[in-house]
Structure 1
Amino acid sequence: MASLELQKIHELRGRVRFRAPVLYRAFHLKDYLEGVLSRNGHIKKVKVNPLTATILLVFKPDIPIEKIEAELKSYLEKLPSPSEVKKLKSEAKPVVASLKEDGPPWHTMPVEEVLKLLGTDKEKGLARKTYEKLLQKYGPNILPEITPRTGWEIFFEQIKSVPVAILGVAAGISLFTGGIIDAVAILCVVGLNAYIGYKTEAEAERTISSLKKLLHPEALVIREGKVHRVPAETIVPGDIFLLRPGDYVPADGRIIEAERLSIDESALTGESLPVVKTEKPLPPNETYPLADRVNMCFMGTLVLGGHGKAVAVATGKDTEIGRIQLSLAEARPPETSIEKQLDEMGTKLVVLSGALCGAVFVLGVMRGFGFLEMLNTALSLAVAAVPEGLSTVATTTLALGVREMKKENIVVRRLSAIEALGSVQVMCLDKTGTITENRMTVTEVSCGKSYKPKDLENRYLNFSPAPQILFEEAQDELLSLLAVCVLCNESEVVKNGEKLSFRGTPTETALLEIAFKAGLDIEALRKAFPRVRIVHRAENRLYMVTVHSLPSGKFLYAIKGMPTQVLGLCGQVLKGGRLYPLDEEERIELTNLNDQLAVRGLRVLGVAFGISDDPEIDLDLKGEAPWCENFVWLGFVGMEDPIRPGIKDLISLLHQAGIRTVMITGDQAPTAYAIGKAINISGQDELVILDSSDFSHLNPEAFKGLLKRVSVFSRVSPADKLRIVQAFQDLGLKVAMTGDGINDIPALKAADIGVTTGSGTDVAKEVADIIIEDDQLGTMVLAVEKGRIIYKNIRKSLEFLLSTNISEIMVSVSANLAGLGQPLNQMQLLWINLVTDVFPGLALSLEPAEPGIMKEPPRDPQKPIMDTNDFKRLSLQASVISGASLFPYVYGLVRYGRGPKASTLSFLSLTASQLLHTLNCRSEKLTFLENSALPKNPHLAKCMWGTAAAHSLFFLPPIRKVLGLSPLGLIDTVLVAATSFGSLFFNAFLKKVIREGHL
């Protein structure tokens, strides 16, 4: 084991992450440590990651962090001894062995040694023959497929629950006591219920699987000295591949070149912050968790910024993510919180009823009733207590919800997202590509005077770039500005016959388009000024610089980015073909002009250039550092990204639904303010905007205090977006985040609901919980509405199922405690639970939206699906239904004595009362007499008539015999009808009384 070290790597109020190398790859300690820490009274949540040797602790905010750190150290010092560790390893699952270290320690080896060992060349890559041999040896670079669960596995999982176990015991006892028909019937019910659960769960899995988009990533690989774009699956160990922003890393690799290279490894390590990479080897003889291997890159992670080059050291199943995927072969998707709550509710109901069964059994024996008679009575109570329909209704409702939302172009990638939709309280909207169309167009160029696109068409049609003239001698500022926009640009020119198009980011392609319309020969210009260096935007450097060689031997610096920062680099300005010093008065005028452009909703870029003998000038602005006198200010480029149609109406609908909307953008404050005002993002006259420069230095408490007023965040980085989402969550709010770009990924993952569009990046779709295929964000309102409907419908089904189940228990327990015998036998209770309860419950789960559902506030996410008040209300309903069954039973005892007649009266009254009770459960507030205000539910009518038709089978002698029923006379039939309808009307009266607050 490694020596005990504890490093604090991230801290917020009530939340801290530590790194402890002692835990690296110690999978057998994960459960042990999570168990002992979760029992600590100060700690609310624990997550141990052996792959990264990190421990995430969520604790009570009023506890000092020093105390938490001290307690954690004490736990780490008491980890199991080496002999106990050895024993744990021997008992561990094979997954631990599959995650062992293989191969050389690439991260501690120099680049030259790595390349030599792999038989490859840094510049030329692999030779064709060598590549073909390696491909034959290692096979394709694809992850191992996880074998899906078989149909039998899904089926048997349906019977592994406490309620089913109770039914199994009841069947066994019935068989032992001679009740063969009862035992067979109980087992048939178990099998049928398992089959229903199997069908719904299998359908849900098929639906989710069909929505997963299969990615076929490509990679830039150097082979035989040439760069090729190839499918990632063709990569072999020894291949040299390039790393560019937005690309997935195609294989595990050793970094051999890195220029400001940063990679998001959260998919593998769980660390939310990007990792800055280097090519330097790490010191040997130390243990390095994956997150600390800064000279390695891993398959499936995402390049966020900079450029780099790596050599593949592992592919396919031998990669880190491949090993993990092999370990997940037996994994099952986690239950949704609703499913967990229902399982717990069903178990508690069974335990409570089991206690009642035992009490009734003991009481009956003490009163002198026969042992077998009381045993059968207790079994009947147990059967009545089992809520067979709970999990079936929940799974079916969620699965059907996924399918219905798919019809509306809403792809739900996980079931739990559906229920979370109904409780969303804050929706964070990324501007570019979400609120706007992500289709940038240059609308104005300002350099000395203002130019519109029409003013620029064919302006420089006959211009042929002459390196000895352009830039090295004073030129027209518009020509120089357009040339810089072409050079400081990574978009590619794509030729298709005579047609020309551009491939790259919306901003950079818009710049190439305006230069092309002005008549510049883009390819000739780039050839005349070859690029030798590129400096990408960074979190604190919001501009991009490219360095180009000039025929004179000097170097041209082409710059574009945030106007205020670019202006801060410049000491001169080009006007009328001549250079002038950039004095303070001129700076103020340019700053005001920038604000004027931005306040119109334009995205504004500042453009500049410089010439120097040094190609490696440090361009970071540090504090009040003076600008470079050789850099020349050229002007502004104003671009517009049109607001999507209907966004303002969408924001208004979200406000009506009680959902707060917040806009997050990388644009400068005036632009963000203009767009926020245009769409009324705050829903009020007042619009509060906060720039990242204003909140980056704030402590968490002060920042959370500001969140209550701010509606627009400007100039934010990916880390800022993540911080904003987590700050809202720390306030106890459910947060949805919409975004479609790479920079949105950390926030999309952290949010309770991550939403992207169909045209979003592939990686955004992989991270998001919900994908809006038609790119119409207005569909999001429909998604929220569907989420609320589904949650309400599950509650309606629960109200029906629980009230009817409780009524069966009340009938049996009350009659036995009163010494009236057992009104209902096992077969009758099974029939009620299977036929009378399940199908109406399913119909209630398909109820359409009640009027005004989107004008209600979001539900409290902390509130359980059924609270104490709900159970009180359900108990009252159950009491009425049980009374409607007990009254005819007592009447039958008086008139006919104990026997099938009295039991039949009780049974038919109970089934009819429960079936009619469905009408009262269609709304949580409205009674069945007010149901005309509700939309029609054709499924309910079909289920009720179908259930009634199933009950008509009682007229068949064989069915009557199995259920223990006897024919009824006219007076008996009238009594059954009167008590059933009486319970319907009385429960409607109770609902109205409770609604008006009188009870």
Structure 2
Amino acid sequence: MQKKFEGLNDAQVEESRKKYGSNAIKEAEPVTFWQLFKEGFEDPMIRILCVIAVIMIAMFLLGQSEWYDPVGTIAAILIVNIVSASTGVSNDDAFRKLKASQKKDTAKVIRNGKIAVVEVDDIVVGDVIVLQAGDKVLADGILADGEIDVDNSVLNGEAEECNKKAAPDDFKMPENITGDTFVDKHSLFRGATVLDGQGYMVVCRVGEATMMGQMAKDMEDKEPDSPLKVKLGKLANQISAFGYAGGIIISVAYFIHYVVLAGGISEYFAQGWGPVLSGLMSAVSVAITIIVCAVPEGLPLVIALVLMQNTGKLYKVNVLVRKSIGIETAGSLNILFSDKTGTITKGELEVVEFFTGNGETIDAEKLPGNISENLNLCIGKNTGAMFDNKHEVVGGNMTDKALLKFLGEDKFNALVKDTGLEVTASQEFNSANKFSQSYIDFKGNTYYKGAPEKILVKTKNYIDANGEIKPINQALLDEKINDLSNRAMRILAFAYSPSKMVKNEINDDAVLVGLVGIRDDVRPEAIEAIKEVQKAGIQVVMITGDRKETAIAIAKEAGLFKGGSDLAVTSAELNEMSDEEVKAIIKDIRVISRALPTDKSRMVKLCQEMNLVVGMTGDGVNDSPALKRADVGFAMGSGTEVAKEAGKLVILDDNFNSIKNAIWYGRTLYINILKFCKMQLVINVGAVLVSAISPFLGIDEPLKVTHLLWINLCMDSLASIMFAGEPALEKYMNDKPRRRDENIISKPMAVQILVMSLYLTAISLLWFKLPAVRTFFGSGDDKQFYSAFFTMFVFAFMVNAFNVRSDGLNVFEHLRENPTFSRVWGIIILVQVLLACIGGVIGEVFHCERFGLNGWILVIVFALSMYPVDVIRKIITKIATGK
């Protein structure tokens, strides 16, 4: 007998809210521009720039530099942090708009003796919630009355139905939640979905006291540094060491040079403190110049701009970027733990295969009339599900819904409208009989749907592919059923009898209509995406709450589990192993079944201890701690808000193919950053060498500080836009993953930088030392000569921009796919021409003076020579490496 519930009155609701709190789960505060702006100063490159700015300010105060030297560096710092902070705020706003567009869940609550609909945040401890098929459980509690089936997959990853029955009066909700608590007969948890039945839940815990709330609090741990941040930290240390050591060594060398010129130490100091201090300041000035040359001021900006531009590109392929750095991290993955349900599989049960009594598979679209007519009645007249006005299947359990979708809305509606097909007697499915049946008087037939072991013992004949009735071939049928069972399918049988219905019995004259295999099937596009990710050298591990046999079957079809050394382990097996034992087999693991939230977090931690870059996908509350701890968490767009808060990237279509795209774009982003690094470091190393060597050859300051700031900041900020638009190429998915602590500058990259910077240094020194060069300019006019050198240096830099675009000989390949490159390249060249020609105040700041046509021809010839030299280097490299 159903219990009577009065529920809470208004006063009791307020008292409960004061005592136990709200049902709202605290969300992360929106990020602010100022917060992200300050965080920008934690970047190692920005810190180096800050040190340089301080030194330049000191030099300016001592009269050893111009005001625009420190101002330019400070401007660089501000621009980088402004762009980075703006991108971060924009991403956070996009995520919050996505959340705001989704309506809050509501519940039917008994209050003041009546049913009222309230929003999720308004539920309190003691509330009585009416639960029906399709409802979400919005708090933790116990089932006080009724019987329901729930789906706990959002909480524990298991796609299996869980039956809940009314709790006895003395039942108390467990304090400590374990994997077994989910499947006890009376406890309900926030996040579960009611599949079938009706009941009344008494709320025991709300808000952050719920299991979902506890998992949200568990995500407050500090996230690990991204691989890019680790790599940039190493690069910053290397550049700092190179710049500071070079500055000190050159300063000392200059001081010794002055002493030698004076004829000895005593003679040098005999000149008086004026000349001594002047020489010392001159040496320090050269050191500062060298440090400025060594540091790639534009690198932080290029990273900020590339991240910003790729955020928009990823949104177009169903990836919402929560945190920009997650893009690059996705491209650096070594291992990816992927949820099964909804990511590798479709996330819902469906009929995968129909077959007859001799094991023959028939296409659902080509069923003969005799089979089709009887199958429609077996399904359409034996179901608790129906189509609503939104054309969606509602009611019934997961199996009923799958069968009704297989039948189709048009056929179902036709059965409903046909008054001659009214069911005159029926019996619903129950756990004892394992079948349901309906009798239609007009047809004079009874129609059955149920477990094969119940129906097949009563059927001797079946309808074949031609619609004829023939004896069942039991051997072929058993072989087919075993094959589908091994592929993790649930088998259902359908039959009809030309006799009246007998309660709890299947008639002996029943004829088998056919059987179906039902399963949460693998997404076809996921199979190809997994293959591409594996080809990229990334280990993919499916982690699921399903039983081991089901998980292996799905993994085999998805291409994850191929036998041999591939391992499938359960949560229990993992828990029996020590951390070191698990680390020893991680490289072979392909499937983890019956997984608990603690298993996911543990696997992330162990992989990170092995210096692997770890990705984790998930949609449920149970996934959230691991999503947060992973280097990059891929939260599913249909998942819980807790999961989305935890992830760096949100996969809007829940598709593994979109995860592959995120990895692909992440690799593209990193490769584009490397292209920029190669271009800038060639010019930086060349500038350091030219500035360091020139004074010893009697060349007076060939590159001024303003020249270096223009090269390292203004041009690099534009160059970052050029490379941000470089296209994603399929070949990037053939590269092997990079280790977390791998140097940004690899050996091949170092060779390219060294060869081209040495060549740039050589032609720079030849410019000053070849007498023939001066003849192209006005006699004795050093301003034109130096102005032309500055222009040649910049033009050589821009020619090298093409060199670094491709490792092949064709530096123009895929140029049409990045039209921004050509536009910005042209703008930089145009601005440099204007600097060399405009004169006036700008000419004074940049130490430029107009020169003639002959000088322009020489500038272009010198600069273009960068291309054939790099072609020769590429050819020699290919011969040496055999690639």
TM-score, normalised to structure 1, is 0.61
User: How far 1:510 moved relative to its partner?
Assistant: 2.9
1:360 aligns with 2:270: no
Q: 1:595 — aligned with what?
A: 482
Whole-Å Cα distance in 1 between the matches of residues 398 and 617 of structure 2?
19
Q: Which amino acid aligns with 1:363?
A: A
Deviation at 1:420, TM superposition (A): 3.9
The letter for the 1-side match of 2:7 is G
What are the superposed Cα offsets for residues 607-652 of structure 1, whole Å, 9 maximum, x if unpaired? Answer: 9xxxxxxxxxxxxxxxxxxxxxx99999996334576565665566
In structure 1, give the amino acid aligned to 2:844.
K
SS across alignment from 1:986? helix
Which of 828, 841, 861 is 1:958 aligned to? 841
* Equivalent residue, structure 1, for 2:350: 440
Query: Which residue in 2 is equivalent to 1:638?
Result: 516
Q: Specify the alignment match of 2:320 in structure 1.
A: 411
Does 2:94 align with 1:217? Answer: no
**In structure 2, do the counterparts of structure 1 residues 544 and 137 end up closer, same or farther at CA, with 3 Å as the change threshold?**
farther
Select which of 871, 874, 878 maps to 1:988: 871
TM-superposed CA distance for 1:397, in Å, is 1.3
Of 164, 177, 186 in structure 1, the residue corresponding to residue 49 of structure 2 is: 164
Q: Pick one of 706, 728, 736 that aligns with 1:827.
A: 706
| Residue number in structure 2 paired with 1:509 | 401
In structure 1, C-alpha distance between the alignment counterparts of 2:600 and 2:31, rounded to whole Å: 38
Equivalent of residue 293 in structure 2, options 369, 379, 384: 384
Alpha carbons 1:249, 1:298 under 8 Å: kept: no
* Counterpart residue number, 1:231: 119
Q: Which moved more, 1:834-843 or 1:210-219?
A: 210-219
CA contact (8 A) 2:614 2:632 kept: yes
- The 5-angstrom pairing of residues 701-780 of structure 1 reads 716-719=593-596, 726=603, 770-773=649-652, 778=657
SS of the equivalent of 1:997 reads: helix
Q: Amino acid of the residue matched to residue 913 of structure 1?
A: A
5+ unaligned residues in a row in structure 2: which ranges? 157-161, 260-277, 437-448, 461-472, 495-504
8 Å contact kept, 2:675–2:805: yes
Give the Cα separation in 1 of the matches to 2:561 and 2:21. 58
Residue matched to 2:465: none
What code does the residue aligned with 1:639 have? G
Q: 1:382 to 1:688 in 2, by over 3 A?
A: closer
2:829 aligns to what? Answer: 948
Secondary structure at 1:230 match in 2: strand
Is 1:718–1:747's contact at 8 Å kept on the other side of the alignment? no
Contact 2:107–2:129 (Cα < 8 Å) also in 1:
yes
Using the TM superposition, give the Cα deviation of residue 141 of structure 1 relative to its aligned residue in structure 2, in angstroms: 4.7
Aligned partners of 1:836 and 1:911 also within 8 Å: no
Report the structure, 1 or 2, having the larger helix content. Answer: 2
Deviation string 1:279-317 (CA, Å, 9 cap, x unpaired) is: 97899xxxx99999999999996459999955456658x
Partner of 1:793 in structure 2?
672
Q: Which amino acid aligns with 2:691?
A: S
Q: Given the superposition, is the C-alpha separation of residues 830 and 572 from structure 1 closer, same or farther in structure 2, using an over 3 Å criterion?
A: closer
1:988 deviates by: 2.9
Query: In structure 1, what is the equivalent of residue 8 of structure 2?
Result: 126
Q: 1:341-360 maps to which residues of 2 (within 5 A)? A: 341-360=231-250
1:191 & 1:304 partners in 2: Cα distance? 54
CA–CA distance in structure 2, aligned partners of residues 130 and 527 of structure 1: 45
Q: Is the 8 A contact 1:434 1:740 kept in 2?
A: no
CA displacement 1:548-598 (0-9 Å, x = unmatched): xxxxxxxxxxx999x8xxx7xx9997679xxxxxxxxx9999965631554
Alignment partner, residue 787 of structure 2: 904
Distance 1:383 1:773, change over 3 A: same
Aligned equivalents of 2:551 and 2:380: distance in 1? Answer: 23
State the one-letter code of the partner of 1:194. L
| Deviation (angstroms), 1:445 | 9.3
Letter in 2 for 1:937: N
**3-state SS of paired residue (2:726):** coil
Alignment correspondent of 2:74: 190
CA deviations over 1:67-122 (Å, ceiling 9, x no partner): xxxxxxxxxxxxxxxxxxxxxxxxxxxxxxxxxxxxxxxxxxxxxxxxxxxxxx99
**2:744 partner SS:** coil
Question: Contact conserved, 1:721 with 1:744, CA < 8 A, in 2?
Answer: no
Matched AA of 1:170: I
Residue 938 (structure 1) aligned to one of 816, 819, 826: 819
The match for 1:978 is 861
Please tell me the root mean square deviation across aligned C-alpha atoms, in Å: 6.3
Task: Work out whether 1:371 is the aligned partner of 2:280.
Answer: yes
Give runs of aligned pairs for residues 811-890 of structure 1, distance below 5 A.
811-816=690-695, 820-850=699-729, 852-858=731-737, 863-890=742-769
Distance change (3 Å), C-alpha of 1:355 and 1:505: farther
Once the two structures are TM-superposed, the CA of residue 762 in structure 1 deviates from its matched residue by 6.7
CA contact (8 A) 2:571 2:596 kept: no
* Partner residue, 2:58: 173
Secondary structure of 2:812 counterpart: helix
The one-letter code matched in structure 1 to 2:312 is R
* Cα distance in 2 between the residues matched to 1:526 and 1:747: 52
Distance change in 2, residues 1:773/1:964 (3 Å): same
Q: Which residue of structure 1 aligns with residue 797 of structure 2?
A: 914
Residues 359 and 480, structure 2, Cα contact 8 Å, conserved in 1? no
Deviations 1:400-459 (A, max 9, x none): 112112123333444344224434566758376744573524865999999999768887
| Structure 1 counterpart of 2:87, one-letter code | E
Query: Contact 1:917/1:984 (CA < 8 Å) preserved in 2?
Result: yes
In structure 2, distance between residues paired with 1:795 and 1:655: 23
Give the residue type in structure 1 aligned to 2:94.
Answer: S
- Whether contact under 8 Å (1:260, 1:305) holds in the other structure is yes
Structure 2 CA distance for aligned equivalents of residues 693 and 342 of structure 1:
38
- 1:172 partner letter: I
* Residue pair 2:567, 2:588 contacting (<8 A) in 1 also: no
Q: Which residue of 2 aligns with 1:465?
A: none
SS of alignment partner, residue 167 of structure 1: helix
The within-5 A match list for 1:43-192 is 124-131=6-13, 141-143=23-25, 147-158=29-40, 161-178=46-63, 182-192=66-76
Cα offset for 1:922?
0.3
Counterpart Cα distance in 2 of 1:717 and 1:778: 25
Change (3 A) 1:941 1:282: closer
Q: Secondary structure at the match of 1:789?
A: helix
**Cα distance in 1 for residues equivalent to 2:76 and 2:490:** 62
Q: Give the 3-state SS of the residue equivalent to 1:866 in structure 2.
A: coil
Which amino acid letter does the alignment assign opposite residue 594 of structure 2?
S
Name stretches of at least 5 consecutive residues in structure 1 with no aligned partner. Answer: 1-120, 268-273, 462-477, 536-542, 547-558, 577-585, 608-629
Cα distance in 2 for residues equivalent to 1:690 and 1:323: 32
SS, match of residue 841 in structure 2: helix
Is 1:338 the counterpart of 2:228 in the alignment? yes
Write the deviation string for residues 142-180 of structure 1: whole angstroms up to 9, x where unpaired. 455655454445445545632221232233123312357
- Alpha-carbon separation, structure 2, partners of 1:526 and 1:239: 40
Report if aligned partners of 1:240, 1:312 keep a CA contact under 8 Å in 2: no
Distance 1:321 1:644 in 2: 29
Offset from partner CA, 1:813-871 (integer Å, 9 cap, x none):
22346564532222221111123333224312321244644455555666443234533
Residues 450-496 of structure 1 deviation map (CA, whole Å, 9 limit, x = unaligned)? 999976888799xxxxxxxxxxxxxxxx99x999x86xxxx776866
What's the offset of the Cα at 1:386?
Answer: 2.8
Taking a change above 3 Å as real, the CA distance of residues 828 and 572 of structure 1, as seen in their structure-2 partners, is closer
Q: 1:137 to 1:891 in 2, by over 3 A?
A: farther
Mapped to 2, the partners of 1:320 and 1:667 lie a distance apart of: 23
> For residue 44 of structure 1, what is the aligned residue in structure 2?
none
Change (3 A) 1:967 1:304: same
Distance 1:652 1:143, change over 3 A: closer
Percent of counterpart pairs with the same letter? Answer: 21
CA deviations over 1:731-750 (Å, ceiling 9, x no partner)? 98767676778898898778
Aligned to 1:926, the other structure's residue is in SS state coil
Cα distance in 1 for residues equivalent to 2:532 and 2:84: 33
Structure 1 segment 393-404 matched on structure 2, within 5 A: 393-404=302-313
Q: Residue 270 of structure 1 aligns with which residue?
A: none
Contact between 1:758 and 1:771, CA under 8 Å: does it hold in 2? yes
3-state DSSP class of the match of 1:400? helix
